[in-house]
Structure formats: structure tokens, C-alpha cells
């Protein structure tokens, strides 16, 4: 099995936050990889994955905010 | 990356071609002072330096240079073959030409790389290969010159770089900043939207303005706290430095004071010596007369001898004259006739008449015949002989006649000399003798000053050595710092105290403001918007708020985990490197701005504020091994650690333990050292206990101590 990417590790580290877990209502199983999180039905898991993914792909802070904000407004 | 071979050609003392092969474990390169240890290290630094493209003639071997004829050329080459996902080589070289007798110029510098592929050896850009396989970051944590260089964490940026490199902290920083901004923007959007909701508009407006003010105050207080903590940290560091060198500083102050006192003493003696200028005194103070008493004594003795001699001669003269006069009187008495009549004078008859009478055989005084052989004839012959003797005696006697009239010594020279002798004696002699004793005293005094000065100068040399030893022990702390050390200490304590007090006040203020902020936030959160759209904005803001806090927490946890991981690995190495000695526990303590410091603790929790040189070295090396482990994990590649003179502070026992342990650590280490040498001879018994490769580098024999072009480093593989 291939090792975890930096994105995966970051996602896991953030989603393991207990308060966020309670607020988002997701389980630790959904935190295993960035690819999986990007297609998650849980909007918090998905939003965090989008922030990391878009940030790593070079998008600006405003672009990431606009995208994630719209996503949350539509899905929260 | 595993280094397989390093070859050095004509690089400074490495004349001609020299080659080192390396295993994947420990390799020792042993050399004494001046044998080429640092040159080896600097040859590698030169090879890895990708920032300078201009060749430096100073790197060309002086020995080779001295052999080049006009028009001849040779090269300086440093090359390294290594395994890094396959065998690769980097080679840096430049050509040197002798263009005129004694004049040389570097022609061009080339930086080549080679990669062994299935298709064969492929040339590539050497600079790109270094950047790909052994970039500046890896060099910084792989190559160490001297013991002081081992503490890479003296530079706070080093740990930041390391942490950022290996823990993805840099990326966390970016996401923390992003999500903070997301929370702020989403909150503004919610507040703005809330104002259109009549049910909560007024409350939101009031709470929001209070929240904005609290956040402003909080931000201000947090900024001030960061600055105050940094300030306290700064003073703390300075105090720590001063306390660390307290003993040294005290010793330094003491030796400095002693040196100053001795220097003043030396100045005093030099002044006293200079004040007694013998050359000037020779004429100005008439010291030239210092030999007068002995000359006078000799003069007086000679005068006395002359005088005595004169008196003796005079006495003899008087005696002789008296004798002569006595004889004359006696003669006159004897030659008187019986009847008292006077004899004829001796000269009558004369010599001529007597010879005539003898010739004529007749006495012409009495008229008697005097035939030859007769009594009368013999009488006349005797009379003639007597006449001759008398004439001769008279002639002799004419001199005493003169003496009777003259003195033996007509002049008074001896008396004059004697008078001079008397005049020079007495007061004059006393005065000049006093001068001689003054000179003697002065010379004795100056000699004493010189002896004292010699002693003081010897003391000063000893003190200078002692001072140098103190400065060496202070590990690079400048004299200036030791000078002002304790003058500043009190000031630093005051300022640190003020900063710490202010930090406590600010922490309390921040806690209060955070309480107020949370209270206003809770108040806002507790509002139940009437409009659905506002409710959505509120949920979005809540989501961003939680996400931001999760990123902050993750960043914090990540840093903590990184430091813990590094700490665990470092302690493992520390224990192994000090297997037979006290080793303590390495702690990496977080400081402001996500930096950290390395400290050594005892297992009972006390900090070891003054670790010994070898404790420090093994502590820093442990952290370096730990970093190397992380590098290996991170890049899935191992990297060598290259040390130049890293164990100077080790004693022999510590040294043996250290090498025996490092010999068994599964990591490529190249240590250039002068350990294992006893008066330039290898301690083979100790070397044979190790399993590693050992090279001996040495100046070739027969060199001229003053001529660099005769010095050449020879490389011999010992085992």
C-alpha cells in the first residue's frame, strides 16, 4: 500500500479534532484520504478536504473561500 | 545517499591524485595538525558549493605549481562518486596554466555530473545533480566543522527550517492563516445578513460592536504579549549566557586584573631602566672616570717605586763618593816619604823619558848605567808600567772628579710625579671613588630592574597562556562579552523581571478578553435568526470557526509530535553514544514563534545548565543523528554525516567509547580527526578494536617548514 501523502496526513490531523467531529457529525473512518474526503457526503469533511486540496493546487485564499463558502451555503 | 569514493587532485596540499573509498558505516580519516584534515573537509565544501563558478587559484597545489614550466597546465579536481538511486558522480575541476615564469592563471571551471544508467554513463549538469541529491539544506545538517558547529540550533531559523521541512508546518501555517480569514469573512457575512433580520438585528449590532472592540483589544494584547515574551526570552538567554560563563568571566576578570597589575609593574621597571642611560652618564655624570681609583692606585704605587728607587740610587751614589774620597785620603797617607818630604809626582819622569832611558840602558836621573837584565833596568821597566797604570787610573779618576761637582739626579721629575700622586689622592680620590661606587650601585640597580622585568615578563607570558585557555574554555565568547558580562547582569535581570511581570499581566488580560469574546460569541450564537438565509450564514460561520480551530490544533499537535519524535530519537542516540557514562535526557523545548531550544536534563528533572564539552558534543550529535533519521524517513534515502574535528573535548577513554559505539551505528559517518594518534604515531591497538575503514593522512617527509611548495599530503589506507 502506498504511503500517505502530505495532504492525507493534514486532513487526518485536522479532522481528528474532537469538537469539529461533534460539530460535523462524522466518524474517523471518513478521514483516511483526501480523495475519499473530497467525495464525502459530510459537508464538513468535504469542506476541509476542499480547503486542503485547493490550497495545495495553488488556489488563492479568496478563491478557496469563495468555493468552500458556496459549497457550505448549499450543503450545510 | 551513500558516498562511495572521493578523489582529490592537486587541491592545496593534496598534490597529484588522492583517493578515499568509503563503506556505508564509519570511516575515520586520521591526521595530525597541518596534515590536511581541514583541507579534506574544505575540498568537499568546494565541491558542493553551487554558488561560485569562478576558479580560485589559491586552491591549486603549491607543490604542483612550483613544478609547472611556462606553457604547461594541470588541473585541480575534486570528485565524489555516490549511490543515490543508482551510482552517480559529481566532479568539479579547473585548469591552471603557467603563462610566464612564476605567473599562473586559472583557465576555466567545469562542474560535471554523471549518472550510471542501463545505457551507460550519462553526463549531466553537476550543479543540478548536487541540488537534486545533496542540496544546501542537507549539507547544513550533514557537514560539521569543529565542535561548536555541531549546535546547529544556536540558529533559531535552523530548527524552524527543519520543523518546516519535516513536519509540513509551513503548510499548516498557510491553512491556519486561510481559515482564520474564512472565519472572519463568514462572520462579517453573517453579521451583515443578520441586520436584515428584524428579530435579532439590534442585538446582533450591539453584540457585534462589543465583539469587534474585544477582538481589537485581544489582538493588541496578544501582539504585546508576543513581543514581551520575546523580550523576556532575549534577556533570559543573555542571563543564561552570562551565567553559563560566570566562572569563566570571573576567572577572566581576575586574570585580566593580574595582567594589568603585572603590565604596570613591567612599565615601571622599563621606565627605571630607561632613566639610567649609561651612555649619557658616561660623560654627563663623568662615569668615564669610574676606573680612576685603580689607575690612581697603580700610579701611586709606581710613584712610590720610583721614589724608593731614586733614594736607593742616591744613597748608593753618596756611598760610592764617600768611598772614593776615603781611598784618596788613604793613598796620600801611604805615599808620604820617610822624612816627610813629598814624593815626586807620579808623572815625573814622563812616560817618553822613561822609555828613552830603558832604550839607552842608562838612568838619566841618577846617571847610573842600567844594562838589560840588571836590577836598575828592571826597576826602570817596572816604573814605566806603574806610570802607565797610574795614567790610566788618573784617567778613570777624572770622572769621580766630575761627580764630586754634580748631583746624581739633576731634575725633580720623580718628586713632581709624587706630588701629582699626592694631589690626585685625598679629596679628589674620595670624590671619584664615590662616583665609582655610585656607578656600581646604579648598575646593580638596573640589573635588579632587568631581573625583575624578566620575571614579570615570564609571569605575563604565563598569564597570557592562562587567559588564552580561559577564552578557549569559553567556547567562542568574545573578550568584550566577558568584559561587560557582570556589569550587564543586573540590568538584564531587571529587564527580564519587568518583561515577565508584564507578560503575566497580559496573559491575565488576554484570558479576560477571551472570556468576553467567547461570551459575546455565545450570545450571538444563542440568537435564533428569524430568516432562513440568516440561519444558513450563521451555520456557515460556525463551520468555518470550528474548521479554523481544528487547523490551529492540528498545527500545534503536529509541532509537538515532531519535537517529541525528534526528542525520542535523539535520546536513543544519546544513550548509545554515552553507554558507559552519564548521558542525561535531551529535551527540545518550544519557544515563541514555533522555535525550540535543546537542553539537557537529569532524570530527576533538573536542567544541566553547564554540560561538559563531551556531554554537549554527544547531545548535539544525538540530535543530528535523529535529524538524519528523519531525513532518511522523509526522503526515503540515507545521508552521510561528515565531521571535522568533532571530538576535541573528549578524553581518551570517552574517545574510545565514542568510536566503538559510533562504529556500530548503522549510518554512514566520515570523521576527520586527530584522535588515535600518540605523538604522530597511530594507536593501532585501539584502531584494531574498530571494524571501520581507517585512513592516515600525513605530510610527506622532507618538507621545508618555511616553504609551502614542499608540503604534500599523503593518503594511506590503514585498514
pLDDT of residue B547 exceeding 90, the answer is yes
Q: Which letter, b or e, does each residue of B203-218 get, where b requires 16 or more Cβ atoms within 10 Å of its Cβ?
A: ebeebbebbeebbebb
Q: What is the pLDDT of residue B137?
A: 77
What CATH number has the domain spanning B2-134+639-717?
3.40.50.300
User: What pLDDT does residue A1 have?
Assistant: 38
* C-alpha distance across the termini of chain A, in Å: 34
Contacts of B83 (CB under 8 A, 6+ apart): B1, B2, B4
Looking at chain B, which residues constitute the CATH 3.40.50.300 domain(s)? 2-134+639-717
Candidates B236, B39, B160; CA nearest to B593 is B160
Phi first, then psi: give them for residue B15, nearest 5 degrees. -75, 140
Measure CB to CB from residue B178 to each of A15, A24, A51 and give the nearest one.
Answer: A51
Across the interface, whether the CB atoms of A69 and B554 are under 8 A apart is answered no
Cβ–Cβ contact B178 with A under 8 A: yes
Select, from the ranges B401-405, B526-530, B633-637, B644-648, the one with the highest average predicted confidence (pLDDT). B526-530
Q: How many Å apart are CA B704 and CA B710, to the nearest integer?
A: 6
Closest approach of A65 to chain B, Cα-based (Å): 6
Provide the pLDDT confidence category of residue B177 given band limits of 50, 70 and 90: very high
pLDDT digits (tens, 9 = 90+) for B135-153: 887 788 788 877 666 666 6
Domain assignment present for A65: yes
Give the A window 15-44 contacts with B, CB below 8 Å. 15-17, 19-20, 23-24, 43-44
Q: Report how far apart, in Å, the C-alpha atoms of B430 and of each of B289, B424, B425, B433 are.
A: 12, 10, 7, 5
- In this predicted model, what pLDDT tens digit does every residue of B658-712 receive, in sequence order? 787 778 777 889 999 988 888 888 889 889 988 899 999 999 988 887 888 888 9
Chain A residues lying within 8 Å of B178, measured CB to CB: 51, 55, 61, 64-65
Average pLDDT over every residue of B113-127: 89
Instruction: Give B620-645 pLDDT, tens digit per residue.
Output: 888 888 887 777 666 556 778 888 87
Q: For residue A69, give the nearest of B172, B186, B546 by CB distance.
A: B186
Residues for chain B: how many in total? 719
Q: Do A19 and B549 count as a contact with CB atoms less than 8 A apart?
A: yes
Contacts of B182 in chain A (CB under 8 A): 51, 64-65, 68-69
HSE-up (13 A, CA, CB side) for residue B591: 22
The model's confidence at residue B387, banded by pLDDT at 50, 70 and 90, is confident
Interface test with A, best of B177, B178, B180 (most A CBs within 10 A): B178
**Quick check: B341 pLDDT over 80?**
no
Task: Please report, rounded to a whole number, the percentage of residues in chain B having pLDDT higher than 90.
Answer: 25
Query: CA-to-CA distance for B603 and B398, rounded, in angstroms?
Result: 132
Q: Is A68 on the interface with B (CB under 8 A)?
A: yes
Contacts with B543 from chain A: Cβ below 8 Å: 23-24, 43-44, 47, 72, 76
CA distance B172 to chain A (A): 8
- Identify the weakest region by mean pLDDT among A20-29, B435-444, B491-500, B653-662: B653-662
The Cα–Cα gap between B133 and B333 comes to: 147
pLDDT value of residue B652: 66
DSSP state for residue B325 in the 8-state scheme: H
CB atoms within 10 A of CB B586: 25
Q: Rounded to whole angstroms, how far apart are CA atoms B376 and B372?
A: 9
CA dist B257 and B251 (Å) reads 10
B634 has a chain A CB within 8 A of its CB:
no
Residue A58 in domain: yes
Cβ distance B495 to B231 under 8 Å? yes
Tell me whether residues A55 and B175 touch, CB distance under 8 A: yes
Residue A35 lies in a domain: yes
User: The domain containing residue A14 runs over which residues?
Assistant: 6-75
- Tell me the CB-side half-sphere exposure of residue B50, using CA atoms within 13 A: 17
Distance of CA B663 to the CA centre of its chain: 34
- Subunit contact B547:A9, Cβ cutoff 8 A: no
- C-alpha B151/C-alpha B159 separation (Å) is 11
d(CA B678, CA B532): 88
**C-alpha separations of B303 from B296, B312, B419, B683 in Å:** 10, 14, 9, 82
Average pLDDT of every residue of chain B: 83
Residue B357 near residue B380 (C-beta atoms within 8 A): yes
Average pLDDT over every residue of B491-499? 83
ipTM of the prediction:
0.96
- A1 lies in a domain? no
B611, B619 Cβ separation under 8 angstroms: yes
Whether the Cβ atoms of residue B115 and residue B32 lie closer than 8 Å to each other? no
User: Contact B509/B501 with Cβ under 8 angstroms?
Assistant: no
Model confidence at B166: pLDDT above 60: yes
Identify which of B546, B204, B531 has the alpha carbon closest to the alpha carbon of residue A72. Answer: B546
Q: Are strands B143-145 and B641-644 parallel, antiparallel or unpaired?
A: parallel
The DSSP call for residue B102 is T
Q: Which of B175, B181, B183 to mutate to test the interface with A (most CBs of A within 10 A)?
A: B175
d(CA B523, CA B562): 38
Q: Which residue of B has its CA nearest to A48?
A: B547
Distance from CA of A2 to the nearest CA of B (A): 13
Those residues whose C-beta lies under 8 Å from the C-beta of residue B665, and which sit 6 or more positions away, are B25, B26, B573, B576, B625
The CB density around residue A52, as the number of other CB atoms within 10 Å, is: 25
A14-23, B47-56, B319-328, B673-682 — which one is most confidently predicted on average? A14-23
d(CA B95, CA B57): 9
Reported as a single tens digit per residue, the pLDDT across B598-627 is 888 988 888 887 777 778 778 888 888 888
Share of chain B above pLDDT 70, in %: 87
Q: Across chain A, what does the average pLDDT equal? A: 88
**Residue A45: closest CA among chain B residues belongs to which residue?**
B547
Vertex B297: Cα angle to B292 and B299 (nearest 5)? 90
* A59 contacts chain B (CB < 8 A): no
What's the number of domains chain A is made of?
1
Instruction: Provide the β-strand partners of residue B643.
Output: B144, B671
Query: What residues of A are in contact with residue B542 (Cβ under 8 Å)?
Result: 23
* Contact list, A76 vs chain B (CB under 8 Å): 536, 539-540, 543
Most confident range (mean pLDDT) of B123-127, B238-242, B470-474, B635-639 is B123-127
Of B184, B211, B179, B219, the closest CA to residue B527 belongs to B211
Q: What is the mean pLDDT of residues B252-257?
A: 84
Buried b (16+ CB within 10 A) or exposed e, B461-488: eebeebbeebbeebeebeeebbeebeeb
**How far apart are alpha carbons B600 and B153 in whole angstroms?**
14
Amino acid at each position: 500500500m502506498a504511503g500517505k501523502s502530505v495532504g492525507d496526513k493534514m486532513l487526518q490531523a485536522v479532522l481528528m479534532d474532537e469538537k469539529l467531529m461533534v460539530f460535523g457529525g462524522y466518524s474517523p473512518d471518513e478521514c483516511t484520504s483526501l480523495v475519499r474526503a473530497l467525495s464525502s457526503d459530510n459537508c464538513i469533511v468535504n469542506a476541509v478536504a476542499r480547503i486542503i486540496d485547493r490550497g495545495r493546487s495553488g488556489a488563492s485564499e479568496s478563491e478557496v473561500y469563495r468555493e468552500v463558502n458556496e459549497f457550505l451555503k448549499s450543503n450545510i | 545517499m551513500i558516498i562511495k569514493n572521493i578523489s582529490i587532485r592537486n587541491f592545496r596540499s593534496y598534490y597529484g591524485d588522492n583517493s578515499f573509498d568509503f563503506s556505508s558505516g564509519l570511516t575515520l580519516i586520521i591526521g595530525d595538525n597541518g596534515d590536511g584534515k581541514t583541507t579534506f573537509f574544505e575540498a568537499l565544501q568546494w565541491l558542493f558549493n553551487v554558488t561560485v563558478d569562478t576558479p580560485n587559484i589559491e586552491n591549486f597545489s603549491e607543490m604542483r605549481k612550483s613544478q609547472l614550466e611556462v606553457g604547461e597546465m594541470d588541473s585541480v579536481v575534486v570528485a565524489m562518486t555516490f549511490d543515490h538511486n543508482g551510482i552517480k558522480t559529481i566532479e568539479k575541476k579547473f585548469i591552471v596554466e603557467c603563462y610566464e615564469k612564476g605567473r599562473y592563471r586559472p583557465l576555466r571551471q567545469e562542474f560535471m555530473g554523471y549518472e550510471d544508467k542501463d545505457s551507460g554513463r550519462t553526463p549531466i549538469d553537476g550543479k543540478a545533480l548536487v541540488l537534486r541529491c545533496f542540496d544546501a539544506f542537507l549539507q547544513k545538517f550533514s557537514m560539521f566543522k569543529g565542535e561548536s558547529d555541531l549546535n546547529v540550533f544556536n540558529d533559531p531559523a535552523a530548527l524552524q527550517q527543519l520543523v518546516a521541512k519535516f513536519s509540513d508546518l509551513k503548510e499548516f501555517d498557510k491553512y491556519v492563516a486561510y481559515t482564520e480569514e474564512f472565519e472572519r469573512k463568514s462572520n462579517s457575512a453573517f453579521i451583515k445578513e443578520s441586520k436584515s433580520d428584524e428579530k435579532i438585528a439590534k442585538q446582533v449590532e450591539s453584540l457585534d460592536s462589543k465583539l469587534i472592540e474585544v477582538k481589537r483589544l485581544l489582538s493588541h494584547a496578544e501582539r504585546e504579549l508576543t513581543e514581551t515574551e520575546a523580550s523576556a526570552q532575549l534577556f533570559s538567554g543573555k542571563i543564561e549566557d552570562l551565567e553559563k560563563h560566570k566562572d569563566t568571566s570571573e576567572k577572566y576578570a581576575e586574570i585580566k586584573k593580574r595582567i594589568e597589575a603585572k603590565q604596570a609593574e613591567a612599565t615601571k621597571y622599563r621606565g627605571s631602566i630607561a632613566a639610567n642611560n649609561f651612555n649619557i652618564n658616561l660623560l654627563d655624570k663623568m662615569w668615564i672616570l669610574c676606573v680612576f681609583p685603580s689607575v690612581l692606585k697603580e700610579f701611586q704605587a709606581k710613584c712610590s717605586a720610583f721614589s724608593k728607587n731614586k733614594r736607593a740610587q742616591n744613597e748608593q751614589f753618596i756611598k760610592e763618593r764617600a768611598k772614593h774620597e776615603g781611598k784618596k785620603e788613604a793613598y796620600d797617607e801611604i805615599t808620604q816619604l820617610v822624612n816627610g818630604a813629598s814624593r815626586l809626582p807620579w808623572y815625573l819622569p814622563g812616560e817618553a823619558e822613561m822609555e828613552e832611558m830603558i832604550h839607552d840602558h842608562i838612568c838619566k836621573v841618577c846617571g847610573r848605567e842600567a844594562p838589560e837584565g840588571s836590577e836598575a833596568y828592571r826597576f826602570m821597566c817596572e816604573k814605566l808600567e806603574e806610570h802607565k797604570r797610574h795614567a790610566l787610573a788618573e784617567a778613570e779618576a777624572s770622572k769621580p772628579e766630575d761627580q764630586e761637582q754634580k748631583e746624581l739626579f739633576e731634575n725633580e721629575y720623580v718628586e713632581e710625579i709624587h706630588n701629582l700622586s699626592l694631589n690626585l689622592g685625598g679629596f679628589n680620590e674620595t670624590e671619584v671613588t664615590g662616583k665609582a661606587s655610585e656607578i656600581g650601585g646604579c648598575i646593580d640597580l638596573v640589573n635588579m630592574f632587568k631581573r625583575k622585568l624578566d620575571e614579570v615578563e615570564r609571569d605575563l607570558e604565563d598569564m597570557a597562556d592562562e587567559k588564552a585557555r580561559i577564552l578557549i574554555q569559553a567556547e567562542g565568547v568574545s573578550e568584550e562579552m566577558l568584559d561587560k558580562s557582570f556589569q550587564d547582569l543586573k540590568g538584564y535581570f531587571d529587564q527580564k523581571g519587568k518583561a515577565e511581570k508584564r507578560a503575566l499581566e497580559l496573559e491575565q488580560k488576554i484570558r479576560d478578553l477571551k472570556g468576553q469574546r467567547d461570551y459575546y460569541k455565545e450570545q450571538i450564537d444563542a440568537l435564533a435568526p428569524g430568516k432562513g438565509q440568516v440561519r444558513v450564514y450563521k451555520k456557515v460561520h460556525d463551520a468555518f470557526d470550528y474548521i479554523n480551530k481544528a487547523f490551529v490544533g492540528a498545527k500545534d499537535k503536529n509541532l509537538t509530535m515532531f519535537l517529541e519524535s525528534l526528542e525520542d530519537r535523539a535520546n536513543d542516540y544519546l544513550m548509545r553514544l554515552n553507554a558507559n557514562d552519564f548521558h542525561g535526557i535531551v529535551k527540545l523545548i518550544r519557544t515563541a514563534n514555533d522555535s525550540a531550544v535543546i537542553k539537557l536534563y537529569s532524570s530527576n528533572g533538573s536542567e544541566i545548565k553547564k554540560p561538559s564539552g563531551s556531554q554537549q558534543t554527544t547531545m548535539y550529535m544525538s540530535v543530528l543523528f535523529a535529524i538524519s533519521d528523519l531525513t532518511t524517513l522523509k526522503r526515503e534515502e540515507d545521508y552521510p554525516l561528515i565531521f571535522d574535528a568533532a571530538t576535541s573535548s573528549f578524553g581518551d577513554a570517552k574517545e574510545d567509547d565514542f568510536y566503538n559505539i559510533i562504529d556500530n551505528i548503522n549510518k554512514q559517518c566520515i570523521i576527520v580527526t586527530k584522535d588515535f594518534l600518540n605523538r604522530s604515531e597511530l594507536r593501532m591497538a585501539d584502531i584494531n578494536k574498530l571494524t571501520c575503514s581507517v585512513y592516515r593522512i600525513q605530510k610527506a617527509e622532507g618538507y621545508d617548514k618555511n616553504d609551502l611548495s614542499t608540503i604534500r599530503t599523503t593518503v594511506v589506507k590503514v585498514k
